[in-house]
């Protein structure tokens, strides 16, 4: 049960980070090179995964 709740929370965080990434993409439209966007998305995905792993280890 706790893992289901944790997965829902992680999915919500992932959706919020995707929204933040889209907003950042609009704000930095002048810097909208594919490398910049890929690095930003990779960093956000890495942070979400790292947060999920830390939460699981912390229980």
Mean pLDDT by groups of 10 residues along the chain of 59 residues: 83 84 71 67 81 77
pLDDT at 52: 80
Residue 18 CB: number of other CB atoms within 10 A?
Answer: 14
pLDDT at 5: 84
Q: Rounded distance, CA 28 to CA 26, Å?
A: 6
Domain locations along the chain: 2-49
Six-digit token string for 59:
């229980």
The helix (H) or strand (E) run that includes residue 12 is helix 2-27
CA-to-CA separations, 26 to 13, 34, 47, 56, in angstroms, rounded: 20, 13, 21, 34
pTM for this model (two decimals): 0.42
């Amino acid at each position: 049960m706790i893992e289901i709740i944790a997965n829902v929370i992680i999915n919500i965080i992932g959706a919020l980070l995707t929204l933040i990434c889209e907003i950042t993409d609009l704000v930095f439209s002048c810097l909208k090179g594919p490398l910049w966007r890929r690095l930003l998305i990779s960093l956000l995905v890495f942070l979400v995964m790292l947060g999920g792993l830390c939460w699981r280890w912390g229980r």
